[in-house]
Amino acid sequence: MAEDAKNKSTYQSRSELKPRAWIADGLRVTFKTLVRTTVHRPNTIQYPFEKLVKPDCYRGRPGIVLEKCIACSKCVRICPNRCIEMVPIESATLGKVKRPQVNVARCMMCGYCAEVCPTNAMIVTPEFELAAYSRSELMFDPFKLQFESKPGYEVCSPMILPSEIKAGKTEMHNKGDMAIKDTVALDAKKCISCSRCEKTCPVGAVKMTETGEINPKTNKPIKKPAFDNEKCVSCEQCVDVCPKSCLSMKEAM
C-alpha cells in the first residue's frame, strides 16, 4: 500500500518544484497597475474625505412629508423586508394620526414605498451614511423620518400593463392613472351594511347609498357601499376591515 501511494505522488521529479516563468506574470500585472495608478488617478477615492457625486435617481433611506401622508398603509404592504409599520403619533397640526415608522437596519433602500405612495408623501433621500451604535438608533419614527422634499426625491416610475405589452401597445401610464389602478369589487349578497368600509377609507372614496330596498326587520332602507374609483387609492383597508369578506380587489392586468 505504501508503494502504491508513492507511485501516485503528485510530483514525478524534482524539476517540477523549480520556479517557472509564470511566476513573473503576476509581478507584471502588479507593476503595470502601479505605473497606471501613479500616472493616472486611481479608481478608489479617499472616503470619507472624498465622496462620489450621487446621480439624480439615487435611492437612499426613505423619508416622509407628514402633511401629505393619508395613512393608507400602501408602503407597509409593498415593503419586501417588512420594515415599515404604522404607529400612532400626536402632532400640533395633524392631531392624533398614524404615520409610518421605518426600521432602517432592515431597509434595503429599494424605494418601493415611495413608488406606490399615492400622494408622494414617501420619498427617497440622498442619505446613506446610517451607522449607529445601537439598533434602537436605526428605528426611524415618523418625526425622525421627516425629510425636506425636493424635485427628484419623489418616485414616479411610468408603468405599462402586461395585457398591453401582449397587445403590442407601448403607451406608458403615470402613477394614479385609472388604466393601471386596482378597483374594489363588491359581493352585495354578503354585505350586511355595517359601514365599516366607509369609516375606514382614508380618502373618502366609499359612500353608503340606498339601494331602494327596505329591511323587513327594521323597516329602514338598505344601504350598500358605492366606490368612487377616481378618489380610491387601492389601499385595501376596506377589504381588511370587512367582517363578511364581501369586498375584494380587482387587479388591473
Looking up cell 438608533 gives 137
pLDDT tens column, 72-91: 999 999 999 999 999 999 98
CA dist., res. 85 & res. 205, Å (int): 23
pLDDT tens column, 217-243: 888 889 999 999 999 999 999 999 999
| Band (25; pLDDT cuts 50, 70, 90) | confident
CA dist., res. 130 & res. 102, Å (int): 13
What CATH code would you report for 62-145?
Answer: 3.30.70.3270
Residue 99 has φ and ψ, to the nearest 5°, of -140, 155
62-145 and 178-250 share one fold: yes
Which residues have C-beta within 8 Å of that of residue 161, sequence separation ≥ 6? 173, 179, 180, 252, 253
Q: Report the pLDDT value the prediction gives residue 12, as an integer from 0 to 100.
A: 54
Give the E-state strand segments of the chain in sequence order: 62-64, 84-91, 95-103, 122-124, 139-140, 183-186, 206-214, 221-227, 247-250
What CATH code would you report for 178-250?
Answer: 3.30.70.20
pLDDT tens column, 116-132: 999 999 999 999 999 99
| Band (19; pLDDT cuts 50, 70, 90) | low
**What's this model's pTM, rounded to 2 decimal places?**
0.75
Show me where the domains of the chain are located.
62-145, 178-250
Q: Report the pLDDT value the prediction gives residue 253, as an integer from 0 to 100.
A: 75
